[in-house]
Amino acid sequence: MNRINFHTHTKRCHHAIGFDEEFVVKAIENRYDILGFSDHCCWKYNTKYQSRMRMSLSDFKGYKNSVLDLKEKYKDYIDIRLGMEAEYFPKYMDWMLDFCMKENIEYLILGNHFFRSDEFGCYYGHCPENRIMDYFEDCIHGMETGMYAYLAHPELILRGQAWSDEMEMGFHRVCQKAKELDIPLEYNVLGMQMNQKMGFEMYPNKKFWDIASIYHNKAIIGMDAHQVSDLDADLYDYALYKLSSFDVKIVQEIPKIDYQNLKKNFMKKP
């Protein structure tokens, strides 16, 4: 099985390190066929809020130009894609759809990090109990938009919350919806590294993937690379070994999102 990764960050998000080209060279050295850049997206906020965990609008031009330049430079060695990792923020989704069309974004990954917006909403990795069901609702509503190629780290909520009956019900709903919409779920390798370091499971989580096996979901490996070493082949191969133990269909390509068509359909809605 070939190595692919659509989940790669850059230093523009303020918590990743390394130059863009270093990630490409590392991917080629480790025999990846596809490297997708999907840095934490910019949003056009209605407030003066400035995020310290994502690129700003002023960063985007440099990000896009860099990825496209590398795409051309290394076209004979690797397939490079221009994407972003984005949340589901209801009040900003119209803007994001227009932005994806304008900038020819190839794909979005749904990274469900914040309730409603990081301007005011809690971080789902350390959220209060009364926001647990909101996490699952946002995962589902985000997938239903049709704007996202796959759901990243679907178990993110387990960073700050213990497994419970409520959690289990929520994960069943997410897996059922992903199956209905034919959307892959991500086996997150950065999380796998953290599990190994901490000595216990947050995400990826066996209980979650047992549920995904019930629904025979599609699954995709995402390195969630925040530094060049995160693209090591041994990490990918170990993740593939772990994921292969579940009854899921491992995919190595993502659906092409037609943002123009989504816009047309959106305009038709009453």
Tell how far CA 174 is from the center of its chain. Answer: 15
Neighbouring C-alpha atoms within 13 Å toward the C-beta of 80: 24
The pLDDT tens digits of the residues spanning 26-35 come to: 999 999 999 9
Cβ-count burial 177-209 (b if 16+ within 10 Å, e if not): bbbeeebbbbbbbbbbbbbeeeeebbbbbeebb
Whether 183 and 140 have beta carbons less than 8 Å apart is answered as no
Q: What's the DSSP call for residue 267?
A: H
**What pLDDT, on a 0 to 100 scale, did the predictor assign at position 267?**
53
Token pair for residue 188?
Answer: 């997150």
pLDDT along the chain (270 residues), means of 10: 94 98 98 98 96 96 98 98 98 97 98 96 94 97 97 96 95 98 98 96 97 98 98 98 98 94 71
Token pair for residue 55?
Answer: 């690129």
Amino acid (one-letter) located at 255: P
Whether 55 and 100 have beta carbons less than 8 Å apart is answered as no
Other C-beta atoms lying within 10 Å of the C-beta of residue 157? 26
Token pair for residue 212?
Answer: 């995904």
Domain covering 3-268, topology: TIM Barrel (3.20.20)
**What pLDDT, on a 0 to 100 scale, did the predictor assign at position 270?**
44
The pLDDT tens digits of the residues spanning 192-214 come to: 999 999 999 999 999 999 999 99
d(CA 267, CA 270) in angstroms, rounded, equals: 8
Neighbouring C-alpha atoms within 13 Å toward the C-beta of 171: 26
Tell me how many degrees the CA angle 235-241-244 measures, rounded to the nearest 5: 135
Rounded to a whole number of angstroms, the CA Rg of the chain reads: 18
Token pair for residue 194?
Answer: 């953290």
Amino acid (one-letter) located at 156: L
Helix (H, G, I), strand (E, B) or coil at 47: coil
pTM, full prediction: 0.96
Whether 223 and 187 have beta carbons less than 8 Å apart is answered as no
Relative orientation angle of helices 132-144 and 165-181, to the nearest 10 degrees: 0
Cβ-count burial 96-109 (b if 16+ within 10 Å, e if not): bbebbeeeebbbbb
d(CA 220, CA 108) in angstroms, rounded, equals: 14
